[in-house]
Amino acid sequence: MHADMGSTDLEHYIARAKANNRDISSITGGEGMNRAADGTPYWGPVDNESSRAKAAEKRLAIDQWECISCGTCVEQTDKVFFLPADAKATPIAQDGPMDLIQDAIEACPVTCIHWVTPEDAAQRGLATGEEPDSPRP
């Protein structure tokens, strides 16, 4: 259950944490760039792998060869992922609720969602949603 699929404000992060029986003390930052206790920058209220990758200017990408079109990522947050009819999932945003993006990465049954450098995404042909022919809802 997600309290609000699209919102990235602190109030909605707290509501989602409560709705998912998560410890609200894990919400340690504010909107925008924050710094963890170890000095590592992270993006948004939750310090997790996705928020650290976003702060490091990595791109959210899906390996189209590995994707099985199950829709698990879209179930986590349809504000960030899109699954066209008869196609593979693709990111449609590079920013969004970092808690739900991380949930999507962890829930993917084939682990095809990654945070990568822009160069790595281009070299490997990964879908970032920034390609000119990228599908949109």
Give pLDDT tens digits for 83-119. 999 899 999 999 899 999 999 999 999 999 999 999 9
Break the chain into its structural domains and give their ranges. Answer: 10-124
The closest alpha carbon to 129, from 97, 91, 96, belongs to 91
Domain 10-124 sits in CATH 3.40.50.1000: no
CA distance 113 to 101: 10
- Residue whose token pair is 């079109």: 69
Q: Over the stretch 3-43, which tens digit does the pLDDT of each residue have?
A: 456 678 888 888 888 888 888 888 888 888 999 999 999 99
Q: What is the pLDDT of residue 6?
A: 65
